[in-house]
Amino acid sequence: MAITSGHGNPKWTRDEVILALDLYFECKGLPPTRRDARVVELSEVLRAFPHHAKSARKATFRNADGVAFKLQNLRQVATGKGLGNVSRTDKDVWAEFGSDPAGTRQQAQLIRAGVKVAHEVREQEADYEVFAEGRVVTEAHLRRERNPKLRSKLMAARNALGPLACEVCGRQGGGSNAELAQAIFEAHHIVPLSAGEARVTRLAEMALLCACCHRQMHKLIAMRRQWLTVADLRRVLGGAG
């Protein structure tokens, strides 16, 4: 019997279960053993998760046994047999992605991309609220927004249209110094990070927000645990949401 729990290891998060479900789909519902190369690979990815840094020091944390066991849990959820052992998160993820292997794969790719950049971003954004359950994707998204080239492209495009203004509150930079006035604006991606990190971000996917509204935007996303549009935030701040 595999030893996978009872050692104080934290519960599997949504992100982690999505990665496991992706592998479950890849295996066509026949979970492989702990010796399978894909199980070992996933174990390594999970042990690198930024929010589990401390736990990962334990040998039992998300080891191959644990991953193989989780795949069995997912099989239980998928087949409806032996539901006593599965977690709430397993059920929730299955409810959301159980009939959508392609969507699961896309989400899994986002999470894997996020794990790679998350450490660096966490250092830069220690005070930036991200929601725990979608954490790595959110962090990858924030990092992308901070690309200075994208921001200046967006500024140039908007400058050509007239005075810069926040797309949520309408605030303009003010003052006579253009460079100073522009400093209040940040680029916000209106779509969450998409699969395929190499994809070119189009200007149409970006909104120009003042720093305050941008912060509130991500706070609201964190509070609601779902992606929101600029119009959504405008409604909420206007008191109608």
Three-state SS string across 139-162, please?
HHHHHHHCCHHHHHHHHHHHHCCC
For Zn ion, how many residues bind (rule: CB under 5 A)? Answer: 8
Please, which residue, 140 or 213, has the CB nearer to Zn ion?
213
Does 166 bind Zn ion (CB under 5 A)? Our answer is yes
Min. distance of Cβ 136 from Zn ion in angstroms? 16
Q: Please, what sign has the CA dihedral across residues 174, 177, 181, 187?
A: positive
Among 52, 70, 144, 188, which residue sits at the site for Zn ion (rule: CB under 5 A)? 188
Which positions ≥6 away from 201 have C-beta within 8 Å? 144, 147, 150, 189
Element (H or E) spanning 209, and its range?
Answer: strand 206-210
Q: Which stretch binds Zn ion (CB under 5 A): 5-13, 35-43, 49-57, 163-171?
A: 163-171
Report which DSSP code applies to 28: T
Does 213 bind Zn ion (CB under 5 A)? Our answer is yes
For 172, phi then psi, to 5°, come to -110, 165
Q: Which stretch binds Zn ion (CB under 5 A): 37-45, 116-124, 125-133, 143-151?
A: 143-151
Does 230 bind Zn ion (CB under 5 A)? Our answer is no
Does 222 bind Zn ion (CB under 5 A)? Our answer is no
Among 48, 169, 228, 236, which residue sits at the site for Zn ion (rule: CB under 5 A)? 169
Does 237 bind Zn ion (CB under 5 A)? Our answer is no
Does 220 bind Zn ion (CB under 5 A)? Our answer is no
Rounded distance between C-alpha atoms, residue 128 and residue 240, angstroms: 26
Which positions ≥6 away from 154 have C-beta within 8 Å? 187, 203, 206, 208
Max distance between CA atoms of the chain, in angstroms, equals 72
Does 68 bind Zn ion (CB under 5 A)? Our answer is no
* DSSP secondary structure string for all residues of 79-122: HTS-GGG--HHHHHHHHHHTT-HHHHHHHHHHHHHHHHHHHHHH
Q: 191-204: string of b/e by CB count within 10 Å (b at 16+)? A: eebbeeeeeebeee
Please, which residue, 158 or 188, has the CB nearer to Zn ion?
188
Q: Which stretch binds Zn ion (CB under 5 A): 14-22, 45-53, 203-211, 223-231?
A: 203-211
Q: Which stretch binds Zn ion (CB under 5 A): 82-90, 95-103, 105-113, 160-168?
A: 160-168
Site for Zn ion in 25-54 (CB under 5 A): none
Residues that bind Zn ion (CB under 5 A): 145, 166, 168-169, 171, 188, 210, 213
